């Protein structure tokens, strides 16, 4: 049983290493303003005339607009604005496509925003929710698997500690070190 736990612990640790390096690298970009200054997003704006088919609800209109205007990304729920327009947005890391659809649905203003390296890093940190194509879903699945891997890593580590604590007094130091590091990081990010 001990060797199985060690293999599980090693496999989950190596799998997590890839994501921890990715999160370290993107986190370094996010928090290091001297090397990676925060640049405003580049915005391209254009107006278009539309001929939207009758009978489409907001979701159908959003899908029609995405197809007709070649817009991609994860669709946010369409949102009515106070001036009668409807805001429909699609986002992918590094780019946001926003359509401000006129109340009469005959025209729209399209705003495409592109961020730099720091914007990409921030977007990758906040990717969540399935439903925007296979690549997006694959990324979210990998994030979910890494979250599950953290739990497996912790449980298998406790299992290894429980079987080794009698014969290896240094195991208490490993358990204490891992616990202090985990609690310290959680508190650090809660306060930050």
- pLDDT averages per 10-residue partition of the chain, 192 residues: 83 83 81 79 89 86 88 86 92 87 90 84 76 78 85 86 76 83 85 74
**In this structure, are 140 and 167 located in the same domain?**
yes
Q: List the domain range (segments joined by +) for residue 88.
A: 42-114
Are residue 88 and residue 145 in the same domain, yes or no? no
Whether residues 136 and 184 share a domain: the answer is yes
Q: Which of 43, 51, 70 has its CA nearest to residue 108?
A: 51
- 98 occurs within a structural domain: yes
Per-residue model confidence (pLDDT) at position 82? 93
Q: Is residue 120 part of a domain?
A: no
Shared-domain flag, residues 56 and 75 = yes
Same domain assignment for residues 29 and 68: no
106 and 82 housed in the same domain: yes
Last residue of a domain, one of 114, 143, 170: 114
> What pLDDT does residue 49 have?
92
Which is it for the CA torsion 130, 136, 141, 146, positive or negative? Answer: negative
119 found inside a domain: no
- Site of tokens 């580049």: 42
How far apart, in whole angstroms, are the C-alpha atoms of residue 151 and residue 141?
15
H or E element: which one contains 146? helix 133-164
Report how many domains make up the chain. 2
Query: What pLDDT sits at residue 192?
Result: 67
């Amino acid at each position: 049983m001990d060797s199985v736990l060690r293999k599980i612990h090693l496999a989950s640790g190596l799998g997590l290493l890839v994501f921890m390096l990715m999160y370290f690298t993107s986190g370094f970009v996010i928090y290091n303003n001297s090397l990676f200054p925060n640049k405003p997003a580049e915005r391209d704006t254009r107006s278009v005339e539309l001929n939207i088919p009758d009978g489409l609800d907001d979701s159908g209109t959003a899908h029609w607009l995405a197809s007709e205007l070649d817009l991609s990304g994860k669709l946010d729920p369409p949102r009515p604005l106070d001036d009668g327009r409807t805001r429909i947005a699609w986002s992918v890391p590094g780019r946001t496509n926003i359509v401000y659809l006129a109340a009469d649905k005959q025209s729209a203003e399209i705003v495409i925003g592109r961020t730099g390296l720091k914007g990409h890093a921030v977007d990758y940190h906040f990717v969540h929710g399935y439903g925007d194509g296979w690549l997006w879903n694959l990324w979210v699945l990998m994030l979910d698997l890494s979250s599950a891997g953290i739990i497996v890593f912790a449980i298998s580590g406790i299992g290894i500690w429980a079987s080794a604590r009698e014969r290896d007094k240094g195991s208490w130091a490993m358990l204490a070190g891992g616990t202090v590091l985990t609690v310290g990081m959680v508190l650090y990010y809660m306060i930050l």
